[in-house]
Amino acid sequence: MGKGRLAGKVIDDEGKPVVSARIVLKFIKSPLFNGLIPSWRDESAVFETATDKKGEWMYQGLAGGIWEVRALKDGYHSSSRQVEIRQLSANPHVELTLQRLKGGAYSIAAGLLEKANELYAIGNLDEAVGAYREYLEQDPEAVMVMLSLGQCLEQTGQLYEAIREFQSIVDLTSANPRDREIEARALAGIGDCAFKKGDRETAIGAWKAAVEKSPTSENVAANLAEVLFSAGEDDEAVSYFRKALEIAPARQDIRLGLVNVLLHRGEMEKARGELNTIIKLGPRTPSADQARKILVEISDKKKPLFVAG
């Protein structure tokens, strides 16, 4: 599909490499540069590879855009992360941690969770929902399984059911500081579903809580920043764009979003600095081409274009 290269490592919850874990790479979105901030169109493609004896993996030939990277292994919960792939510059090293299934639950429903994860990975979401629910009947407080079920429900458009599942995770994990990342992912899921339903106020509140609880997802912070910008909350938008870039400093599309706000505020020198950073990160990327065009507009003293939403 392209020239992008992605590599990573899979470890268990003790930090040891996981050998022969399946790595499923799912193409989600590709960028469209019709304005300052890239918009995205949904795409679909799935590739697979596996980890070696050091728990490491690599895949060559990926198109530019947003990809989901998911690791699966019998006896473990699955783990995933979304990353942006660029064609002609370095991409992030993706490290995923697989948590072992509890012995009792695994022996009660041997193979059922693996089946559910497999169905989810290959896109059979309706069947995955059924399998996850069957597993949860036997292990009703398996929060990682609940999280996967919530994500499946969201992707199939069952937003109210997804919100209920994510809220159940928040209720179970909020008292335990060790579960902050899981709670943050559930809060992010609530925000995503609320936004899809058109409830921006609830989405903003949930995304803010997710970022403050455990700032590990640049997508949550960036989505929040864009919604705040469209609502006229420029100061907060800048703050959350910067939080997103602390997590993923190489994300050129997020940096373009920050540029958009800075231009709107008339902070031309700050915008120019961010634009030069975009070009430095990947000189031959579409984002860099966009950055060069904006720099020309600024130099020519033209009024820069921005997208308020």
Decide if pLDDT at 205 tops 80. yes
Decide if pLDDT at 42 tops 60. no
Q: Which of 26-40, 128-142, 230-244 has the lowest mean pLDDT?
A: 26-40
CA angle 119, 81, 149 (to 5 degrees): 40
Mean local confidence (pLDDT), 146-155: 94
Q: Which residue has the higher pLDDT, 278 or 105?
A: 278
CA 181 to centroid of chain Cα atoms:
13
Q: Which residue has the higher pLDDT, 298 or 44?
A: 298
Domains and CATH numbers, the chain: 1-100 (2.60.40.1120), 109-216 (1.25.40.10), 240-299 (1.25.40)
Predicted TM-score (pTM) of the model is 0.75
Contact (Cβ atoms closer than 8 angstroms) between residue 255 and residue 273: no
Torsion on CA atoms 168, 171, 177, 181, rounded to nearest 10? 30
Q: Which residue has the higher pLDDT, 120 or 307?
A: 120
Torsion on CA atoms 277, 244, 82, 131, rounded to nearest 10? 180
Q: In what order do the strands lie in the sheet with 79-85?
A: 39-50, 22-32, 65-72, 79-85
Q: Which residue has the higher pLDDT, 282 or 10?
A: 10
Q: Other CB atoms closer than 10 Å to residue 185's CB: what's the count?
A: 23
What pLDDT does 307 receive? Answer: 46
Give the 3-state DSSP-derived string for the chain, with helices as H, strands as E and coil as C.
Answer: CCCEEEEEEEEECCCCECCCCEEEEEEEEEEECCCCCCEEEEEEEEEEEECCCCCEEEEEEECCEEEEEEEECCCECCEEEEEEECCCCCCCEEEEEECECCHHHHHHCCCHHHHHHHHHHHCCHHHHHHHHHHHHHHCCCCHHHHHHHHHHHHHCCCHHHHHHHHHHHHHHHCCCHHHHHHHHHHHHHHHHHHHHCCCHHHHHHHHHHHHHHCCCCHHHHHHHHHHHHHCCCHHHHHHHHHHHHHHCCCCHHHHHHHHHHHHHCCCHHHHHHHHHHHHHHCCCCHHHHHHHHHHHHHHCCCCCCCCCC
179 half-sphere exposure, CB direction, 13 A CA radius: 16
What pLDDT does 44 receive? Answer: 66
What pLDDT does 105 receive? Answer: 45
Decide if pLDDT at 34 tops 60. no
Decide if pLDDT at 169 tops 90. yes
Share of the chain above pLDDT 90, in %: 52
What pLDDT does 302 receive? Answer: 52
Q: Provide Rg for the chain, Cα atoms.
A: 20
Cα→Cα distances 270→177, 241, 273, 292, Å: 37, 14, 5, 15
What pLDDT does 104 receive? Answer: 45
Mean local confidence (pLDDT), 170-175: 90
Q: Which of 246, 304, 232, 250 is nearest to 272 (CA)?
A: 304
What pLDDT does 242 receive? Answer: 96
- Render pLDDT for 55-102 as a digit per residue (tens, 0 to 9): 999 999 888 888 889 998 888 888 888 888 877 667 888 999 998 876
Q: Which residue has the higher pLDDT, 105 or 12?
A: 12
* pLDDT averaged over every residue in the chain: 86
For the record, the structure tokens of 194 come out as 């609320």
Q: How far apart are CA 39 and CA 41, in angstroms?
A: 7
Given pLDDT bands bounded at 50, 70 and 90, which one contains residue 172?
very high
